[in-house]
Amino acid sequence: MSPEYAGDGLFSVKSDVFSFGVLVLEIVSGKRNRRFFHPGHNHNLLGHAWMLYKEGRSLELLDANLGSSCNESEVLQSINVGLLCVQQCPEDRPSMSSVVLMLGHDGALPESKEPGFFINENGLHFDDAHLPSNHGAISANEMTITLLDAR
């Protein structure tokens, strides 16, 4: 779910691009964003992928079961495209037609910016500029729990 939809209820084609980026990173890593756990930090999959990307270690994201059967440059390109799709600002995300072109051609890609809506050591992170202007404390302990009950 894109940050602008989760925070403001705003949905656009860039929301779909965000979701596609999450799927790309999940496929490459073999892990789900929602249930991702790393013993060395509290990041979710997006935060972990971003950290590895910034440190020049993106290949460490690759699922160990795929390691020897993959083209490393294609994996790096897929991770970079995935990170471009999950950028915080919708305006920074590419269109889906651009994503298709980026995945189909070898070449330099733009530098990715920080992903939106990832969990870091300090808790949930998202840019205040993308929250509704009337936002206050979400709850007393800055956490919410939603339970869905079937009818």
Q: Give pLDDT tens digits along the chain (151 positions).
A: 676 667 767 777 788 898 899 999 999 998 887 766 666 656 788 888 998 999 999 999 898 888 778 888 899 999 999 999 999 888 999 999 999 999 988 878 888 888 876 544 444 444 433 333 334 444 445 566 666 677 6
Position 93 in a domain: yes
Position 125 in a domain: yes
Position 102 in a domain: yes
Position 7 in a domain: yes
Query: Which pLDDT does position 32 carry in this prediction?
Result: 85
Query: Which pLDDT does position 107 carry in this prediction?
Result: 78
Position 115 in a domain: yes
Query: Which pLDDT does position 77 carry in this prediction?
Result: 93
Give which of 66, 43, 63 is closest to 54, Cα–Cα. 43
Position 60 in a domain: yes
The domain in which residue 79 lies consists of: 3-130
Query: Which pLDDT does position 25 carry in this prediction?
Result: 93
Give which of 102, 126, 92 is closest to 24, Cα–Cα. 102
For the chain, the domain total comes to 1
Query: Which pLDDT does position 63 carry in this prediction?
Result: 87
Query: Which pLDDT does position 117 carry in this prediction?
Result: 62
44-82: burial string, b at 16+ Cβ within 10 Å, e else = bbbbbbbbbbeeeebeebbeeeeeeeeeeeebbbbbbbb
CATH of the domain at 100: 1.10.510.10
Query: Which pLDDT does position 100 carry in this prediction?
Result: 93
Give which of 70, 81, 135, 137 is closest to 104, Cα–Cα. 81
Query: Which pLDDT does position 108 carry in this prediction?
Result: 83
Query: Which pLDDT does position 28 carry in this prediction?
Result: 92
